[in-house]
Structure 1
C-alpha cells in the first residue's frame, strides 16, 4: 500500500512537467502559423484631409503590401457610418504585391469629422481600423 501511495505522489508531482512541455509546443506551432499567414504592411493607417469644402466628397486611397507568405484576401470593408463609401482590392494579393482600400467621405455637414474604416482579412490580426479625419467648412 505504501508503494502505491508513493507512486501516486510521484505521478502527481511529475505530471505538470509534461503539461508545460505540451504548452510550449502549442505556442511554437501557433507562432509558426502566424509567420506563414498573410500580413498587412500599411503605408499609413490614418489620413487627415485638413479643411475641405462642404458638399464636395473627398477620397483617400490607403495602400498596403502583403508581407506574409500566404495570399492576402480582404473579406469585407465596413465604414463607421453611411457618409463614407469604400472600395478595395477584391482579388487575392500575393506575397510582395500591393493592394488598396479607398475611402470617400461625403462632406455634407459642416464641422470636424473622425471616421473609421474596418478592414477584415485572412491576416493574423484579422481586423484593421483605418481612420480619416478633417474639418468641413462653408
Structure 2
C-alpha cells in the first residue's frame, strides 16, 4: 500500500511540473496586445466642464416661467453621453442633449422653472452621464414674489 501511494505521489508531481514550460508557449502575443489596448481605452473618460453650475434669476413674479441654458464642454478624451436629467421637483424641467458630445465639443442643458412657490427658492438639477463621478449638479435660485404682494401698497 505504501508503494502504491509513493508511486502515485511521484506521478502527480511529475505531471504538475511538466506543464510549467508549456504554459508560456500557449500565450498568444496578439491577444496580450489587444487586451492592453482595451484596458488603455477603458481609462479614457469624458469630463463635463460647465461655464457655470449655479444661476440666480433674481426677483420674479409668482407663476412666471423663466429658463436658463447651462453650457458645458467635454474636456475629456472620450464621447460624453448624458443619459438623464432630473430636477428636485416638478416645477423645474431640464432638457438634456440627445446626441453624444465629442471630446472638445460643447453642449447645452436647458432648465425651465415655472415660478411656483414663494420667497427664496433653490432647485437642483442632477445630470447623469458617463463621467468618472457619474452625476453632476446644477442649481437655480430665485426670489418668487407672491401675486397678491404686488397689489399691496409699499410702505
TM over 0.5: yes
Equivalent position to 1:91, from 88, 96, 99:
99
**Which 4+ runs in 1 deviate beyond 2 A?**
none
Question: Shift in Å at residue 108 of structure 1?
Answer: 2.6
Other-structure match for 1:20: none
Equivalent position to 2:135, from 114, 124, 127:
127
Question: Shift in Å at residue 109 of structure 1?
Answer: 2.4
TM-score, scaled relative to structure 1: 0.73
TM-score, scaled relative to structure 2: 0.65
CA displacement 1:73-115 (0-9 Å, x = unmatched) = 0010000000101112110000111111111111132211001
Other-structure match for 1:100: 108
Other-structure match for 1:117: 125
Higher strand share: 1
| Count of aligned pairs between the two proteins | 107
Structure 1 runs not aligned, ≥5 long: 1-28
Larger radius of gyration: 2
The alignment yields a C-alpha RMSD, in angstroms, of 1.6
> Relative CO higher for 1 or 2, CA cutoff 8 Å, sep ≥ 6?
1
